[in-house]
Structure 1
Amino acid sequence: MTESANGEQDTRIGVFLVDDHGLFRAGVRAELERAVPDVEVVGEAGSVEEAVAGIRHLRPDVVLLDVHMPDGGGAEVLRRIRPELPDVVFLALSVSDAAEDVIAVIRAGARGYVTKTISGRELADAVRRVHTGDAVFSPRLAGFVLDAFSDRPGAAPHSDPELDMLTPRERDVLRLLARGYAYKEIAGELFISVKTVETHVSSVLRKTQMSNRYELSRWASDRRLV
Structure 2
Amino acid sequence: MTPSDAYADTDAVGGRSVRVVLVDDHRMFRTGVRAELGEPLQVVGEADDVDTAVAVVEAQRPDVVLLDVHLPGGGGVTVLRRLVSRIPETKFLALSVSDAPEDVISVIRAGARGYVTKSITGDDLTAAVVRVADGDAVFSPRLAGFVLDAFAAGGTTADAPVESADEDLDRLTQREREVLRLIARGYAYKEIAKQLFISVKTVETHVSAVLRKLQLSNRHELSRWAADRRLV
TM-score under structure 1 length normalisation: 0.61
Aligned pairs (5 A) from 1:21-170: 21-32=26-37, 36-151=38-153, 158=155
Using the TM superposition, give the Cα deviation of residue 10 of structure 1 relative to its aligned residue in structure 2, in angstroms.
7.4
Using the TM superposition, give the Cα deviation of residue 69 of structure 1 relative to its aligned residue in structure 2, in angstroms.
1.0
Given residue 30 of structure 2, which amino acid in structure 1 is its aligned partner? R
Higher Cα radius of gyration? 1
Structure 1 gaps, min length 5? 1-8, 152-156, 160-226
3-state SS, counterpart of residue 57 of structure 1: helix
3-state SS, counterpart of residue 110 of structure 1: coil
Using the TM superposition, give the Cα deviation of residue 125 of structure 1 relative to its aligned residue in structure 2, in angstroms.
0.3
> Separation in 2 of the partners of 1:82 and 1:158?
18
Higher relative contact order (CA 8 A, sep 6+): 2
What percent identity do the matched residue pairs reach? Answer: 64
Given residue 91 of structure 2, which amino acid in structure 1 is its aligned partner? V
Given residue 60 of structure 1, which amino acid in structure 2 is its aligned partner? P
Q: Aligned-pair RMSD on alpha carbons?
A: 1.6
3-state SS, counterpart of residue 37 of structure 1: coil
Structure 2 gaps, min length 5? 1-13, 157-232
3-state SS, counterpart of residue 152 of structure 2: coil
Using the TM superposition, give the Cα deviation of residue 37 of structure 1 relative to its aligned residue in structure 2, in angstroms.
2.3
3-state SS, counterpart of residue 126 of structure 1: helix
> Separation in 2 of the partners of 1:136 and 1:91?
8
Using the TM superposition, give the Cα deviation of residue 83 of structure 1 relative to its aligned residue in structure 2, in angstroms.
1.1
Using the TM superposition, give the Cα deviation of residue 158 of structure 1 relative to its aligned residue in structure 2, in angstroms.
4.3
> Separation in 2 of the partners of 1:75 and 1:40?
24
Structure 1 residue ranges (4+ consecutive) displaced by more than 2 angstroms after TM superposition:
none
> Separation in 2 of the partners of 1:83 and 1:150?
24
> Separation in 2 of the partners of 1:141 and 1:94?
12
3-state SS, counterpart of residue 113 of structure 1: strand
Compared CA separation, residues 55 and 119, structure 1 to 2 (3 A)? same
Give the match for residue 19 of structure 1.
24
3-state SS, counterpart of residue 149 of structure 1: helix
Number of aligned residue pairs: 143
Given residue 152 of structure 2, which amino acid in structure 1 is its aligned partner? S
1:36-77 Cα offsets, whole Å, 9 max, x none, are 221110100000000000000000000000000122111100
3-state SS, counterpart of residue 72 of structure 1: coil
Using the TM superposition, give the Cα deviation of residue 121 of structure 1 relative to its aligned residue in structure 2, in angstroms.
0.4
> Separation in 1 of the partners of 2:15 and 2:61?
14
